[in-house]
Each structure stands twice: as C-alpha cells, then as structure tokens.
Amino acid sequence: MRHGFFIFLILLGYAVPCFAQDTLPQAEELYRQGRLSMALSLYEKALKNHPNDPFVYYNIGNCYFKMGSKGLAAANYYRAFKLNPRDPDIRHNLSLTLASGGERLVPTGVPEVLHRAFFSLSLPELTGLLFALFWLVCLYVCLWLLKRRGRWVLLITGSLLVICAGWWYARTEQDNQPLAVVATPVAEIRSGPGTNFPASASIAQGHLLTIEDEKDDWYEVIVKSQSLKGWVEKSTVEKI
Amino acid sequence: MRKKIAFLILFLLFTIPAAAQVLLTATTDKTALTLDDELTLTVRLSGTKGNLIMPQLPSLPAFNVYSRQVNQSSINGNNTLLFRYTLLPRFVGKTTIGPVTFNYEGNTYKTEPIQIRIYRDSSAVQNTPIQSVSPDGNISSNQEQEISANLPPLEYSLATQASKHREPFFTIAAVSNQNPYVNQEFTLAIRFYYSQAFYDAPYQKPTVSNLFLEDAGSVDGTQSINGVLYRYQEQRYLLMGAAPGPATIGSATVTYHVSMSPLSALDRFFGSAMREERKSVSSPISVNIRQLPSGQPASFYGAVGQGYTFHASVQPAKVEAGEAVNLTATVRGPINLKSTRDFPFPNIDGFKSYPAAAVSGNIPGANNTIQSYKTFKTVLVPVASGIYTIPPLEWSYFHPGKNQYLTLTTQPLSITVTPSTQTEKSFDFAANHTIGSGFQTLGQDVRYLKTSYAPKELWLAQLSQWKIINALMLGLVACCVLFASFGRKSLSQRKAFTTARTKLKKAQAETEVAEAVATYLQEKLRINTGSLPLKEITTALAKKGVRPATAEAFSLLWQRLDAARFAPAELGAQSTMDLSAQALDVLVLIEEETK
C-alpha cells in the first residue's frame, strides 16, 4: 500500500510538468488559429511553471499585441527583454510596440551600438562577470602580496573590475527602476492622487512611465518622453 | 414539368414574404363624438419601397375632411407612412368609415371598417364606452380611471396634476425623471387640456437651463377628468442633463382663442364667430442632474440608459489586397445617441485605416417607439493577403437602473484577403520604403511566437550563484595581507639561524663567515652591523636579551672577523673552520638567549 502511494506521488510529480509542457504547443496552435484569448490564458498558466522564462513572456506579449492591447504587450516584452536582452526577436517586438505608442527603446541621442552593448549581457550574466573579475583581482592581489609579482596584470584586471562594477551598477539601477506602461486606450495624468484633481494630460496606450511614488490606487509617475510628472490610476497602467 | 413547379415554388417563396411585409391599418381616436367635436383617423402604411404612394380613403358622407398630415420614416429603404385625417362630423347618427384601400405591386390591401356614433351633445358621449386610439397606436379607455401608482412616473404625474383641474382649459407639465444622471435622457410632456372648442392655439415652448432639449413630437388624446370629457394636445420633448447640478424647465404657454358664441361647423370654415384670446400656463419644474459614478470603463463614450445593442459588420468579407473593406459598428438604443462621443476603431494590424464621420439619427422602433442609432464606419485597406480577424469591439454605457456600467461586445469578424491581381502601383502604400527593385515594405508586425523555451544563458550567469566564493576570496586576500605584514617577518627570523649555520658550514673564507654573521644579525635582530660600531652592536644585543658573557664572546668574534675583513692574511683552511666554528657557537648562544 505504501509502495503504491509512493509510486503515485512520483508519477504525479512527473505528470504535472508534462502537463505544463503540453500546454505550450496547444497555446501555439490556438494562436495560429487566431483564438488569442484562449492562447493567452494557456501561456499565463504556463508562466506559473516557467516564471523566469523570457520566451513565455514574449509569447504573452504577442497575444496581447494581436488582441490590440499594446500596453500589456509592451509590459510583457519588457519583462522578456530584462531576462534576455540579446534576443533579436524580443528587441524587435519591444521596439515595434513602443514605437506604436510613440516611445523608443533606445533613448534619443544614444547610439544604437552603445545601447546594444549595454544590454549585451543579462543582469545575472553581468553579475557573474563581475564576480569572476573580482576573484581574479583577489588572486592577483595575493600573488603580489606574497611574491611581489604580477603588478601590471593586477592593474589591468583591477581597472576592468572597476569598469564592470560601474556597468553592473548602472544596469542594476535601470532594472530596479519601477516602470509601468499605459495599459488602457487612454490614461489621464492628474496633478494629485484623486479624480478631484484636474487632469493635466491624457496619454495613450503603450507609453512608458517611471513610477516615483504610490498612494492608495494611484501612482506618481514621470513620462520621460514628454517631460511630464503627475498621478495616474493604478487600474490604467501595468507595472513591469 | 418538374422544373416549372420548382420555379413556381421558388417564385412563391420569394413573393410571399415580399407581399407579407406591407401592412395597412386604420384607427380612430374615438368611436363616439358630438357634432362639435372632431375625429382623427390614422392610417398607418408600412413595408413599401420607393416613392410615397397614397392610400385611398373610402367615401365619407358623414364627415368633412378638415385636414391631413403625413409623416414618413424610412429604414433600409422600407417606408413607414402615417396619415392623419381630421374629420368633422356632419350628421347625428351611426355611421361607418369604410375600408381604406391601397394598391401596391398588383396587390390590394384593405383595412377593417370602423363604426362611429355621432351625438348631438356630450352627455350622450360620456355614457358611451369609448375606445380611443392614440396616434402611437396604444388603445386606452377614456373612461375615468383611478390614478394608479403603478403608472410610469410621467403618466402618474400628469394624471395627478390633471385631476386637480376643473376649468375648461388648462396646461400641465411633467417630467419622467426628477433626478436623472448627466446625459441620461428623460421626457418632458406638456399637455393642454380643453373641454370646449377653441380656435388656433399657438404654443410657446418652455425655456430650459442646464439641459439639452429636443422636440419629440406631439400627440392628441381624450381623457375624462372629474366626470368631464377633455381632449388634450400633448407636446413631448426629450431632455438631457448637461452638467451635474440643478436644472430648470420654465413655464410653457399656450395662447388660445375661444368663441364668444356657440361654434358651428360653418364657423370653422369662415371664422365668423367672436373670439377672445386667453393664455394657459404650466408650472415650472426643477430637476436635479446627478453626476455619473466613477470607474468608467475605457470603452464608455457617454451613453446613459438601457436597452442598447452594439454590432459590427464588414462588407465585403473577401477582397484582394489593396481593396477597401467597410467596417461598420452600429449602436442602437432608446435614447438620443447624438451627444455621445464617437467610437474610436482600434488600429488593426495588416490594414490601412481611413475612419469616416459617425452618422446618427432616429428610426421607428417596436411598439411605435423611437429608436436612436449611431453608426461608426472606417474603411480598411488590407496591405497583404491572408485571413485576418477583427477583434471584438467594445462599447459601454451606464445603466441607471442597475447603477453600473455595462459593456457590449461584438463578435470577432473575419476578412479573407487574396493576393492582389492589380499592378503594384495600384496599392503602393509604402513607396517611401521601397528598397531596391522588386522589394516593397508592406507593413510591420511582431515576430512570430517562440516555440522553444528556457533559452540557455552564458556560463557567466552560473558564476553569479557562487557568492560564497567572494567571501573566500576576501578571506584569502586578508590572509595574504596578514602574512605579508607579520608572517613574513617571523618566518625570515626563524630562517635566519638556519641560513647562517648553512653558510658558516660552507664558508671557505673569513669574509664569508663575516657575511653570514652580519646577515644573521640583520635578519634575526634587525641590527645593521655595517653602520654601527662594536660597542653599539653589543648594546643592541644586550637590549635583545643577550647575556653579557655571550656579548663578550660576540665582541671577540667580531674583532676577529674585523681583523679578517680589514687586515686579511694568508690563513689556512683550518683557521677559517675555527673561525666558522667560533661564530657558530656564538650564534647558537645568541639564538638560545633571544628566543
């Protein structure tokens, strides 16, 4: 009896991921048939088993894009981009979606090559590179302390470590910056957290917002592309 | 033969529904009246197409046809005609209005005959059960009724106000809703009651504030109030609150003329009777306009009411790339939709979109009600072949009864676009983006789904997991720093005696012995023998814990070494070994005493 119970548990353990795997081809088939909302619900279910899979976010973004919800599409592409910034498809779809809302992935004035270089590694990869350089510098410090040798190599690796640390800091700051995207056709920006404050602007779906603060059902946001600061209802935006 | 029968059946199938669509009805507002009174005969003709065609009235020997009004409306080319004839009775007695006939596409349509009784005075009329037919087709009893609280608010208010009057002429006004929301439509009815004949009654409509007012037509009717038979003229308006807050409806004034002498049918034609001008004024009405609740959905465009429908269609559903498709969305409802904001069509991938101005209007609805509609249209031009799906469109309204926003959604629509058979220039949408010959950008779309998951990261990402190594490395560096600062010193000190002993054993000359001793003192005791005189060296040794006897022995050794260094003589190997042995003995003593 006990054996049977354990075998059942083991089978269940295998069956659950198998079921989750099966939903993805099914979702793709639904997407191909144009049954987007059903495909979307399957991808969102799959996300529970693949919480850090950039390609699941990418596919969710595609579903939203095809359903006309460009704001939600942009939010999911952005999540995928954070996890896998080198993927050309993610970059393309995110750029296209942001462009439809009047936003740019590469900030104005920044060369495309520099932007691509800055996002050539994901944050865990960049952290790994930082660690590796740190360990190398430590080893060379020890060598120099014990043997008084390898001074130039130590200087070069130390300089690389400083540069990498700066890069890592900038990426971490950017990744930790709370962003949101307008998810409804239009969001109103008000001068305070309430409908009793006058609306100063309306902003279309797909615009990127930087969240500065929050109060009840409202976010204080900055629209960098428009140099605008104000409050929007939480229900009108999707936090990335 | 079989084919002929089949054709005949098909022909019948097509012709029967076409014929069945034409409807002709005739009604009167009463079936009993006095000689002073007038009768309204309403003929309703619906389902015809094309030009206005008049129905044929029967012979009416008992009446003079005083006036005729025609109202026409059209839906999808189908006409609905309403003919109102005012008939003046000529003789007392029982008469029949024969069938009204209408010839259309070879068919003749007839109405049922109507029996009418004409009396000399009104007392007889009041004893006769009268069925009046209001112009909107609803049959109601003219006998006095108790005012029921189940009546609609507008009817209840009118009935309550009317019951308070006994004078032969009076005007009342009522609204269907005292607390409407902004943009919620409600009705204002102004009734001018009269129980005596009068001449023309010019009507002055009321002034309103904070309201939009639109004419909704007029109706005539008959009502018995406190035992007196009244006729009334009712003018209706559709009102809509412009902004939250109080709104007012001013008095309506009816100016009428009454005859100073009994009125005969002849007087009506020649206007020979003496007249007096009088005015009847309704009471003003105050209304409170309520603000709509918050939480309006994005697809809310200002409609407030109930009974809306929303549907969309594409025409045609199969086109070539570059050909136009009309995407139409229509909202219908019981209230005026003119003031609602236009529905914005979403951008549809794969199509160039050319929106057209929205069209709104009114059409007759079921049960002779007025339906409002608003049609939004956009022309879509597909840029490439494929099967496209127009996503469901959403339109929301506020339901005052349920006090919530409701959203209507259309079905997804499919458009099949085949490759264009036209030349390239005929739909050159992206001429500016042409790159090279034979290449044309048709549009941009997101890239297709990812079918493989969990992409592999660089090995660097794995390193980020090994945070413990950071601590180990820092520990290693700390150890190295400690060793470099303290460990190296003690190690060299420990090694000083061994090194000196090895050197002394291998020494071939006195200078090597001297160097071994000097190096020992330098590394072990940090005494620089090169710059210090012997006395200071022995003092330094004493400070390091060397006993005086050993210091004396060192003095002797040092003098001998000085002599060997500065006054070298030809000494043999035996002498060097002695010197080396003496130095070793001294160093052993110093080593023991400075531990």
Write down the pLDDT at residue B20.
45
Question: Is the domain of B527 the same as that of B542?
Answer: yes
Note whether B100 and B165 are same-domain residues: no
Question: Which residues make Cβ contacts (< 8 Å) with residue B272, sequence separation at least 6?
Answer: B266
Are residues B287 and B199 located together in one domain of the fold? yes
| Segment A186-200 mean pLDDT | 87
Structural domains in chain B (count): 4
Q: What is the CA radius of gyration of chain A?
A: 23
Q: Both B117 and B172 in a single domain?
A: no
Domain, as residue range, for B502: 482-593
Q: Is A71 a member of any domain?
A: yes
Query: Given this model, what pLDDT does residue B37 score?
Result: 75
Task: Say what the ipTM of the complex is.
Answer: 0.75
pLDDT of residue B171: 92
Q: Are residues B331 and B389 both part of a single domain?
A: yes
Which of A176, A195, A219 finishes a domain? Answer: A176
Residue B77's pLDDT band (cuts 50, 70, 90): low
Interface of B with A (CB under 8 A): 294, 298-299, 344, 346-349, 387, 389, 391, 412, 444-455, 457-464, 466-467, 469-470, 473-474, 476-477, 479-481, 483-484
pLDDT at A138 over 80: yes
Alpha carbon distance A181, A205 (integer Å): 8
Q: Mark which residues 74-113 of A lie under 8 Å from B by CB.
A: 84, 87, 89, 92-93, 96-97, 100
Residue-level length of chain A = 240
Q: How confident is the model at residue A59 (pLDDT cuts 50, 70, 90)?
A: very high
pLDDT for res A7: 57
Q: What is the mean pLDDT of residues A190-206?
A: 86
Average pLDDT over residues B557-567: 79
Provide the pLDDT for residue A6: 55
Q: How many domains does chain A have?
A: 3
For residues A130 and A166, what is the distance between their CA atoms, to the nearest angstrom? 10
Average pLDDT estimate for B122-140: 43
Q: Which residues of A touch B455 (CB under 8 A)?
A: 54-55, 84, 87
Query: What own/partner pairs with CB < 8 Å and gap ≥ 24 does B231-235 have?
Result: B231/B37, B231/B193, B231/B194, B231/B195, B232/B191, B232/B192, B232/B193, B232/B194, B233/B191, B233/B192, B233/B201, B234/B189, B234/B190, B234/B191, B234/B192, B235/B189, B235/B190, B235/B191, B235/B192, B235/B203, B235/B205
Residue A113 in domain = no
Residues A162, A190 share a domain:
no
Q: Tell me, yes or no, whether B148 and B133 share the same domain.
A: no
Please give the single-letter amino acid code of residue A80: A
Q: Which amino acid is at A44?
A: E
Q: What share of chain B in percent tops pLDDT 90?
A: 9
- The whole-number average pLDDT for the span A138-161 is 90
- pLDDT surpassing 80 at residue B211: yes
Judgement on whether residues A171 and A183 belong to the same structural domain of the protein: no
| CATH code of the domain in which A57 resides | 1.25.40.10
Given B454, B464, B480, which is nearest A50 (Cβ)? B454
* Res B215: pLDDT: 81
Q: Give the pLDDT score at A154.
A: 92
Residues of A in contact with B441 (CB under 8 A): none
Residue with tokens 């400070």: B543
Give residue B477's pLDDT.
Answer: 92
Place A16 in a pLDDT band, splitting at 50, 70 and 90: very low
Least reliable range by pLDDT among B87-96, B180-189, B526-535: B526-535
Q: Is residue A206 part of a domain?
A: yes
Inside any domain, residue B190:
yes
pLDDT in tens, B10-36: 444 444 444 446 788 888 887 888 777
pLDDT higher than threshold 70 for residue B301: yes
In this predicted structure, what is the pLDDT of residue B440? 60
Do B527 and B575 lie in a common domain? yes
Task: Tell whether the model's pLDDT for residue B90 goes beyond 90.
Answer: no
Q: B477 vs A53: CB contact, 8 Å cut-off?
A: no
pLDDT per position as a tens digit, B148-169 = 555 677 888 888 888 888 888 8
Closest-CA residue of chain B to A101 = B347
Q: Are residues B227 and B134 in the same domain?
A: no
Q: According to the model, what pLDDT value does residue B267 have?
A: 59
pTM of the complete model = 0.45
Find, among A66, A98, A105, A64, the residue nearest to A204 by Cα: A98
User: Which pLDDT score is estimated for B133?
Assistant: 38
- Nearest chain B CA: its distance from A53 CA (Å): 5
Owning domain of residue A144: 121-176
pLDDT of amino acid B121: 63
The first and second tokens of residue B345, run together, are 């069509």
In a domain, B34, yes or no: yes
Does residue B14 lie within any of the structural domains?
no
Q: How confident is the model at residue A15 (pLDDT cuts 50, 70, 90)?
A: very low
- On whether both B286 and B332 belong to a single domain, the answer is no
More confidently predicted of B525 and B480? B480
| Overall average pLDDT of the A155-181 stretch | 92
Beta strands of B2-38 (E only): which ranges? Answer: 23-28, 32-34
Which pLDDT belongs to residue B494? 74
* Mean pLDDT for the stretch of residues B474-501: 83
Percent of chain B with pLDDT over 70: 80
At what angle are helices A2-32 and A54-66 packed, to 10 degrees? 40
Contacts with A24 from chain B: Cβ below 8 Å: 453
Among the ranges given (A133-147, B65-79, B349-363), the one the predictor scored with the smallest mean pLDDT: B65-79
Judgement on whether residues B96 and B153 belong to the same structural domain of the protein? no
- CATH of residue B353's domain is 2.60.40
Q: Are residues A10 and A82 in the same domain?
A: yes
Shared-domain flag, residues B63 and B200: no
B316 upstream amide cis, omega within 30 of 0? yes
Same domain, A28 and A60: yes
**What is each CA distance from A107 to A73, A112, A169, A236, B203, in whole angstroms?**
20, 9, 19, 24, 68
Specify whether A93 is located in the same domain as A148: no
Query: What residue type is assigned to position B364 of the chain?
Result: P
Q: Does A115 fall in a domain? A: no
What is the number of alpha carbons within 13 Å of residue B114 lying toward its C-beta?
A: 29
User: Could you tell me if residue B403 is left (phi over 0), alpha (psi between -120 and 50 degrees) or otherwise beta?
Assistant: left
